[in-house]
Structures are given as C-alpha cells and as structure tokens.
C-alpha cells in the first residue's frame, strides 16, 4: 500500500504543476460527450479514445448522437422500466440478492435520470438524478450512513452522479473532479441501457457502483488513462472509520477492438472495526473479433472479468486463517459473449460467472424484515468466515430499433451454497415489517432458497 500512496501523491503533484489550457469536456471513460466548439491550440492533440468507435463495449452507451447538446450543456435523459417474474413466486413480491432487480410480478421504474454534462471554459460538471427503485435500494446498501448524524442516505438518495471539476489541456487532457461518480469496478455500468445484459453477474452486482470523493483523470495518450481516487470508502456516502479509501483505474485501448481495464482499491470499510482493512483488484478485457456492418451477423465480441480481494486485521486474515482469525477473501469472475445481427438492431448475449466470499463482506444483505447493510439480520449472518459461494448464468435478447432505445428480454438462473434467494414464503413478516430493521420477529422464519430462476422484460431509453 506504500506504493499506492507514493503513486497517488506523485500524480496529485503532477496535476498541481499543470497550467491551464484550452478546455474540453470528457465523459467518465474519456470520450467527449458531444462535439463542442474548441479554441484553436498551438499543437493539435488527439482526443482520448476517439480514434475508433467504442460504442460496442459493455458499460458504454451506444448512442452516437446527442440531441440535447448546446454550447454549455449536453443534456441527458434515462428511463429504465422493467417487469421481472421470479419462478420462486415470493408472496411479498420481493427479490433478494440483486442490486438491479427488486420486485417480482410488477412493472417497476428502476431508474429515472435527468441531467447531463456542463462545460464552460475549462470548468466542467456532471449531474444525474436518481428516481425510482434505485433511490431506495442503492442507499440501503451503504452501511456508512449509520456512523454520525445528518441522514446522509436521505441527503444523496435522489442523486446518482454529482460532480464538478476542472480540465487542463496538457498531455491528452487532465481532469480533477470532486463529488459522487461511478466507480467502474466490476466493468458494467450502473445504467442498464449501457450494458449487454440486465442482471450482471455477482462480480459486478456486488461491487461498488459509486464513489464519493476526488478523482484525477490523466490521459497520458489518446489510448491510455491513469485515474487515482481518494474517496470516503467502498460505495459509501461517508467514512466507515477514520481511514479514507484510495485506489484508481488504468484504462488502455490499444486499438478499436480491445479494451483492458484494471481497478484497485484499499480501505477500511467494516463499520465500527477500524482495525480491519480491505484490498480489492478488478481486471477486465473486452475484445471485438468480428465487425461486418452489412452482413447478417454484423458484430461479435466477448468480455472476461476477474476479481480478487481480502480483508485483514480486526479479527480476520487474508489467507491461511485459523479459528481465531478466519480467512476472509473474495474471488470471482464473469464472462459474456455477444452477437449482433441485422446491422446491430438485434443482439444475443450469453454469459455468467461465480464468486467465493467467505465472511460475506461483499454479499448483499437480504432485506428480511426491512434489513439494511447497516442493520444486518440474524436470519442471514455475516460473521467472519461464514461460507458463501454462488454462480449464475443468463441469456439476453435485445431489439434496438433506434440508438436511443432497447427492448430487452432476459432469463436468469442464480444459485448459492446457502439459502439466500426469496422463496414462496417471502422475506416479510405477516402484517409487514415489525420492530427494528432486520430484527427477529417471533414465530416468523423467512423463506430463503438456494436457487432462483427469473425472466425480465425491460424498456430502456437514453438520449
């Protein structure tokens, strides 16, 4: 971790020494959000990641036009509506174990986002609202809000992204931003429109969707980005303990058919246990091996993601654990293969993955009797060393008549080594939640199963 600290300090120092230049507004991944007038520069530099079309990537929106673009604002509208049916038939319509799908047998708005990118001179900003299911489900997975006052989960509940920053036209661009922004860990985007499937595998679904803090984007060339982070913690509005989280991303796209990403993180993210530390590495490759726009099979690509991590100190160990200090680790992968047809209007994606997470420190807490990440629940413990292994598979069919809309049909199978998914009896006590969130209710036992099959129909809009 000393190496990470030296790297972060060095990059911060480099950024501080840069002088201001002609501005450009960049998206999260470094691509311009939309064309905008530029001040002539003495030496032309290629804008990052614009040497090829990367809209085929999962985690990237496929839109190429920006109808809400003006000189100062590139507006953005997103709507994610889905109907999911679980073949476990939960009586309370509750789906557990997902950070994307939450109710069965109902039409639900997962996300309504209105916002965009703002760019005036070399000052930049981005914001996106968060209405719908995400406004309730994402904050409940953040345990840091239980430390201190001022109701942080309420303060940020309706915001998925909010940041301001500054751009220097040095190298191929340097950005410094502060606020809430997407984390990149797990490859998939927080927004389903951008992804090849609706329900990502556990490696993505269980890792953080957002960070609160400061990021520094350094575009070393038009093909390489180095991005340090100084953040509050692992998907947290506040700090879990005294230590902040640090980490960063390296993104390399050597050509238009390959994208390689590595993300690394270190922090103290167990509420009330400042002696416990977490390390995590997330690594992905995406490869497009066919591109024939006028053929029946117009495009083909695959992805592979591998994650590893552990917690140490505070009663647990990274490896070789004992009864007194159990080993607490995370190992996981996911892989997807996608075929596009009919000039990219149709697509078929198959994939899945698996994780092993003894200690369950990255396992989403089932909402038994209203349980949250902060409350936990005795019905599904997360004690050091508690077993948890899981795997999943999915098939996704997309119909995309316009670059701004996707009609999606998906089938999912998910399984775990311990009872985890809501069964027919559901996870809600008779008469509704009772007592403190997650607490034991007399004469009530949640119906948790080891597997789940479901289908999802979704309408996804982005322009």
- Reported as a single tens digit per residue, the pLDDT across 315-333 is 999 977 788 899 999 999 9
**CA–CA distances in Å: residue 333 to residues 214, 237, 295, 305:** 28, 27, 32, 5
In this predicted structure, what is the pLDDT of residue 17?
A: 33
Q: What is residue 365's DSSP assignment?
A: P
Cα distance between residue 208 and residue 362, in whole Å:
9
Torsion, Cα 207 287 181 143, to 10 degrees, reads 0
> Residue 207: which of 107, 93, 331 has the closest Cα?
331
Residue 113 has pLDDT above 60, yes or no: yes
In this predicted structure, what is the pLDDT of residue 44?
A: 61
Cα distance between residue 146 and residue 274, in whole Å:
15
In this predicted structure, what is the pLDDT of residue 322?
A: 82
Burial class (CB in 10 A: 0-12, 13-18, 19+), 398: buried
Residue 63 has pLDDT above 80, yes or no: yes
C-beta atoms surrounding 356 within 10 Å: 15
Given a contact cutoff of 8 angstroms between Cβ atoms, the answer to whether 14 and 235 are in contact is no
C-beta atoms surrounding 331 within 10 Å: 16
Q: What is the mean pLDDT of residues 173-183?
A: 95
pLDDT grade, residue 27 (50/70/90)?
very low
Residue 13 has pLDDT above 70, yes or no: no
Q: Pick the residue with more confidence: 25 or 235?
A: 235
In this predicted structure, what is the pLDDT of residue 253?
A: 97
In the numeric block, the tokens 């303990």 are attached to 241
Q: What is residue 189's DSSP assignment?
A: -
> Rounded to two decimals, what is the model's pTM?
0.87
> Residue 316: which of 366, 372, 367, 273 has the closest Cα?
273
Burial class (CB in 10 A: 0-12, 13-18, 19+), 322: exposed
Enclosing domain of residue 375: 2-462
Condensed to tens digits (0 to 9), the pLDDT of residues 219-233 reads: 999 999 999 999 999
Can you give the CATH number for the domain in which 406 is found? 2.40.160.10
In this predicted structure, what is the pLDDT of residue 45?
A: 74
Condensed to tens digits (0 to 9), the pLDDT of residues 367-396 reads: 999 999 999 999 999 999 899 999 999 999
Q: What is the largest CA-CA distance in the chain?
A: 76
Number of H helices, E strands in the chain: 4, 18
Q: What is the mean pLDDT of residues 128-157?
A: 93
Give the pair of three-digit tokens for residue 411.
């089938």
pLDDT grade, residue 184 (50/70/90)?
confident
Q: What is the mean pLDDT of residues 62-86?
A: 95
Residue 24 has pLDDT above 50, yes or no: no
Residue 426 has pLDDT above 50, yes or no: yes
Given a contact cutoff of 8 angstroms between Cβ atoms, the answer to whether 174 and 168 are in contact is yes
Number of domains in the chain: 1
Residue 82 has pLDDT above 50, yes or no: yes
Cα distance between residue 104 and residue 95, in whole Å:
6
Displacement of CA 185 from its chain's centroid (Å): 6
* SS3 assignment, position 152: helix
Q: What is the mean pLDDT of residues 252-276?
A: 95
């Amino acid at each position: 971790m000393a190496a990470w600290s030296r790297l972060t300090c060095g990059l911060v120092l480099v950024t501080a020494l840069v002088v201001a230049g002609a501005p450009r507004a960049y998206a999260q991944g470094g691509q311009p959000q939309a064309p905008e007038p530029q001040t002539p520069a003495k030496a032309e530099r290629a804008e990052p990641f614009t040497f090829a079309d990367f809209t085929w990537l999962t985690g990237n929106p496929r839109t190429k036009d920006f109808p809400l673009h003006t000189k100062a604002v590139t507006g953005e509208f997103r709507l994610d509506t889905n109907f999911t049916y679980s073949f476990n038939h939960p009586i309370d319509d509750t789906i557990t174990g997902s950070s994307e799908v939450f109710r069965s047998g109902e039409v639900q708005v997962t996300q309504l986002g209105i916002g965009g990118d703002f760019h005036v001179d070399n000052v930049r900003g981005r914001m996106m609202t968060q209405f719908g299911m995400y406004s309730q489900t994402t904050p409940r997975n953040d345990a840091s809000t239980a430390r201190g006052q001022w109701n942080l989960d309420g303060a940020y509940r309706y915001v998925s992204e909010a940041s301001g920053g500054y751009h220097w036209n040095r190298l191929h661009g340097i950005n410094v931003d502060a606020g809430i922004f997407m984390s990149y860990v797990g490859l998939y985007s927080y927004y389903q429109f951008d992804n090849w499937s609706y329900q990502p595998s556990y490696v993505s679904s269980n890792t953080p969707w957002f960070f609160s803090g400061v990021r520094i984007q350094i575009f070393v060339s038009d093909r390489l980005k180095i991005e340090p982070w100084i953040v509050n913690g692992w998907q947290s509005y506040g700090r879990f303990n005294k230590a902040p989280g640090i980490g960063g991303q390296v993104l390399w796209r050597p050509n238009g058919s390959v994208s390689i990403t590595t993300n690394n993180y270190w922090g103290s993210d167990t509420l009330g246990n400042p002696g416990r530390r977490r390390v995590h590495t997330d690594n992905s490759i995406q490869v497009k091996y066919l591109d024939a726009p006028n053929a029946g099979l117009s495009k083909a690509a695959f992805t592979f993601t591998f994650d590893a991590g552990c917690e140490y100190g505070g009663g647990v160990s990274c490896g070789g654990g004992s009864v007194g200090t159990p080993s607490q680790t995370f190992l996981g992968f996911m892989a997807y293969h996608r075929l596009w047809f009919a000039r990219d209007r149709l697509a078929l994606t198959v994939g899945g993955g698996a994780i092993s997470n003894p200690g369950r420190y990255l396992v989403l807490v089932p909402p038994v009797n209203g349980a949250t990440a902060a409350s936990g629940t005795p019905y599904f413990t997360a004690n050091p060393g508690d077993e948890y292994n899981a795997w999943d598979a999915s098939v996704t069919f997309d119909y995309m008549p316009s670059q701004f809309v996707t009609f999606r049909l998906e089938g999912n199978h998910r399984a775990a080594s311990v009872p985890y998914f809501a069964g027919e009896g559901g996870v809600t006590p008779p008469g509704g939640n009772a007592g403190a969130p997650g607490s034991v209710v007399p004469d009530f036992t949640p119906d948790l199963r080891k597997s789940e099959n479901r289908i999802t129909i979704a309408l996804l809009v982005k322009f």
